[in-house]
């Protein structure tokens, strides 16, 4: 079903009472963000991740370390949510959700996520390029491209790479979404879910015929902004195509890592292929079959959305020194205070000298 223009106030957060209206990016800002895009980096990253990575396997450990190291190098705070569970066929498996925060002390969070495990098949090694190495690569590529552009304000950017999304044997409520179910439960107890404005989940990206539909009524108006941004990018010529991927039509919402969060009232935009790739869960889902024109288009729209969302947030004035801050960051944060103190000291010295003269 086609949707008309949604003019309702955009709200965020679990209780839906917080209003947030990001200011639209200017053409100059959009061009600047576009110039930061590096498709070579994207391809390299997809190749690194597009290997067999069943939980507990050597490939899984290799990809996990690669994701962690990539974000640590960018001075993100990276943590693991680690737990062990009995699963079909494989027995006892230790799962590792990867949580990366750009500004861990921010009051509110814009969260983007995907799963990094690949499905277990006895018959063949499954690389899962579109399922979901490409999604992981898009998030890492975004972090690298926007490095130095993301401000530290009241809204922080968080990337979550879920483990154990795939069923080991047969999809069921127990044999699937291992990492997402565990993390949502932990975060509910810790109160972290209350800080999440919005959660964008990426999955099954990379096929040539990719399209996204608006799948969750609660976030139709946020999905509409993705549609509008893509349209602007095409009309301004920043995107050299007339084909749109983001379609403002409704669709049925398949089960995925967002479900445990949506059940706890976290607002979700589910970006999953409207039609699954022709090679879904087949040996042909490899990096060589990824369409990078489509993937690049998705990545550019997402970067615009994220930057628009974060740039509109109130300025964050920390009273601490982040462990991830470098010397320049510290100087920038404390220079006005230091100058003020120096000025006060000079005034006191001047008054003291005048007293002695009298």
Task: Enter the tokens of residue 81.
Answer: 């949510």
Which residue blocks in the chain are alpha helix, DSSP H? 27-35, 39-49, 58-73, 134-145, 178-190, 220-235, 259-262, 292-311, 327-357
Residue where the block lists tokens 């004035």: 317
> Could you tell me if 201 and 222 are in contact, meaning their C-beta atoms sit under 8 angstroms apart?
no
Q: For the chain, percent helix, then strand, then coil, each to nearest 5?
A: 40, 20, 40
Neighbouring C-alpha atoms within 13 Å toward the C-beta of 248: 16
Task: Enter the tokens of residue 200.
Answer: 């964008």
What's phi and psi for 268, nearest 5 deg?
A: -130, 135
Between CA 356 and CA 352 the distance in angstroms is 7
Q: Which of these is catalytic: 117, 165, 188, 197?
A: 165
* Kind plus residue range of the DSSP H or E element containing 132: none
Residues in the chain: 358
**Distance of alpha carbon 201 from the chain centroid:** 8
Q: Which of these is catalytic: 203, 287, 296, 308?
A: 203
Pairing of the two strands 268-272 and 212-214: unpaired
Name the nearest CA neighbour of 337 among 322, 319, 357, 356. 319
Task: Enter the tokens of residue 240.
Answer: 């050299």
231 is catalytic: no
> Could you tell me if 224 and 269 are in contact, meaning their C-beta atoms sit under 8 angstroms apart?
no
Distance linking the first and last C-alpha atoms of the chain: 86
**Coil, helix or strand for 264?**
coil
Q: Which residues touch 195 (CB under 8 Å, ≥6 apart)?
A: 107, 108, 109
165 is catalytic: yes
Residue where the block lists tokens 């899984």: 60
Residues noted as catalytic: 165, 203
């Amino acid at each position: 079903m086609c949707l008309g223009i949604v003019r309702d106030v955009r709200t965020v957060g679990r209780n839906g009472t917080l209003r947030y209206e990001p200011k639209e990016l200017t053409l100059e800002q959009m061009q600047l963000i576009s110039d930061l895009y590096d498709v070579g980096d994207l391809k390299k990253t997809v190749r690194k991740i597009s290997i067999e990575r069943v939980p507990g396997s050597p490939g899984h450990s290799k990809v996990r370390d690669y994701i962690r190291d990539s974000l640590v190098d960018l001075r993100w705070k990276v943590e693991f949510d680690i737990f062990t569970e009995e699963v079909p066929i494989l027995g006892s498996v230790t799962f590792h959700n990867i949580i990366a925060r750009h500004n861990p002390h921010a009051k509110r969070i814009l969260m983007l996520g995907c799963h990094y495990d690949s499905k277990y098949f006895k018959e063949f090694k499954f690389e899962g390029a579109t399922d979901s190495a490409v999604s992981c690569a898009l998030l890492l590529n975004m972090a690298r491209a926007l490095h130095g552009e993301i401000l530290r304000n009241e809204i922080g950017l968080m990337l979550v790479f879920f483990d154990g999304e795939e069923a080991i044997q047969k999809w069921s409520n127990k044999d699937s979404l291992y990492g997402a179910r565990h993390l949502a439960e932990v975060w509910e107890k810790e109160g972290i879910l209350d800080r999440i404005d919005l959660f964008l989940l990426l999955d099954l990206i990379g096929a040539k015929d990719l399209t996204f539909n608006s799948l969750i009524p609660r976030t139709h108006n946020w999905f509409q902004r993705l549609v509008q941004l893509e349209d602007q990018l095409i009309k301004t010529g920043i995107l050299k195509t007339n084909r749109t991927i983001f379609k403002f039509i409704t669709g049925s919402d398949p089960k995925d890592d967002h479900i445990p969060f949506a059940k706890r009232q976290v607002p979700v935009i589910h970006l999953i292929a409207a039609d699954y790739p022709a090679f879904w869960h087949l040996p042909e889902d490899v990096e060589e079959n990824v369409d990078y024109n489509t993937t690049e288009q998705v990545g550019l729209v997402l970067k615009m959305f994220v930057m628009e969302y974060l740039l509109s947030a109130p300025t964050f004035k920390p009273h601490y020194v982040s462990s991830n801050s470098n010397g320049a960051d510290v100087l920038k944060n404390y220079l006005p205070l230091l100058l003020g103190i120096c000025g006060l000291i000079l005034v006191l010295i001047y008054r003291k000298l005048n007293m002695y003269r009298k």
